[in-house]
Structure 1
């Protein structure tokens, strides 16, 4: 809108995107100048160019990481660890202005870390952390520029081998723990994990109040959701008695790893902590359990994770025998 002021000047008063958008007001000596200005502003708007663009955002990457941490990271279980990781990435890049980060800069960091021996999965996590900083702050209108590394692709990962213990190996492991381990908790914790599919840390966190009505309830889980799993009467009562006596489980993973090494059972690198969980899931499916129930028991947020065990189902195995190309010879 153009109107004449009491002073004799002509004022342009408009909002480029209607009510609630940025208001622009400017005065001119003549009506013709005011009309030209109005046409200029609306023309720039149609080209999606701001009439009065803000100054370039020169905040550093570390400054944005701090903003992200205060808004989101502080609420995450691993927020402090992610923050340290992000700051290390920023340091490697020379802590540039966040808007000037390029895919090439991140790819150079990733190549360097690969040469140092970092795993591909870890570096995919790093990319995810940095994406989260830009995306979260953009949603909060803390930054007005797009995520500059949004087109960087994750490294393709080979499906990880999932190791599980046979019945004979389970018996041998439990016997080894019983004979050689001095830790009062590790034998029971091992059986709890085998009976419920719990992660070792979830089992260690059990308190007496979590052992109720024939079920063990796992809290502070990886997904953030509590879940309850029924167990046999014998295991239920033994767990209650153990916690009444000791008050709580102590950190016992090192004792389990020592017993596993003593047993002579060989596993792929990095799987000792999860082999009991994988063993529960594998035997559950091989004994006829359905994948949907397994998802709920394990607490997987996505069925995709649980489907890793589907190939162990009895019908899947029998079809391999019935339908292979040699079956009719």
Structure 2
């Protein structure tokens, strides 16, 4: 956090959450007002969780599949088989970080599997399994 003298007054230029966090800039007429604002910013960051940056979810797709199985798949009659299919699918895709998983990744996987001779119906079923993982975890 920095307070600098400028032509229009005292400039508070701060990033309370550190580099990469949100930057706040405001100009005040007096240095005392600038210091008070800087102290207020610091207190807001420590007291209010809304001011803190959101933590990025770095779990892999296979971890979400295991989580889905623990919370939902155990109650299905074919839950163990579905989990194995999903884990092999995640492995074939490269087990990406789930937040980075995209439709284009699945489309590339689908194209490779169709070229290998798998039927479109089987691919649609795999897509439905994967979609159900994300939908059920969002619901829970």
Instruction: Please tell me the root mean square deviation across aligned C-alpha atoms, in Å.
Output: 2.4
TM-score normalised according to structure 2 size: 0.64
The alpha carbon displacement at 1:129 in A equals 0.9
1:313 maps to none
Quick check: 1:107 aligned with 2:107? yes
1:82 maps to 82
1:70 maps to 70
1:114 partner SS: helix
Residues 223-261 of structure 1: per-residue CA shift (max 9 Å, x gap)? xxxxxxxxxxxxxxxxxxxxxxxxxxxxxxxxxxxxxxx
The alpha carbon displacement at 1:32 in A equals 3.0
Residues 96-145 of structure 1: per-residue CA shift (max 9 Å, x gap)? 111111111101111111112222121111111111111211222xxxxx
1:135 maps to 135
| CA distance in 1: counterparts of 2:118 and 2:72, whole angstroms | 26
**Rg comparison, structure with higher value:** 1
Quick check: 1:32 aligned with 2:36? yes
The alpha carbon displacement at 1:67 in A equals 0.1
Counterparts of 1:207-226 in structure 2, within 5 Å, are: none
The alpha carbon displacement at 1:66 in A equals 0.2
List gaps (5 residues or longer) in structure 1: 1-29, 42-49, 141-329
| CA distance in 1: counterparts of 2:122 and 2:79, whole angstroms | 16
TM-score normalised according to structure 1 size: 0.29
2:4 maps to none
Q: Which has the higher contact order (CA 8 A, sep 6+)?
A: 2
More helix by share: 2
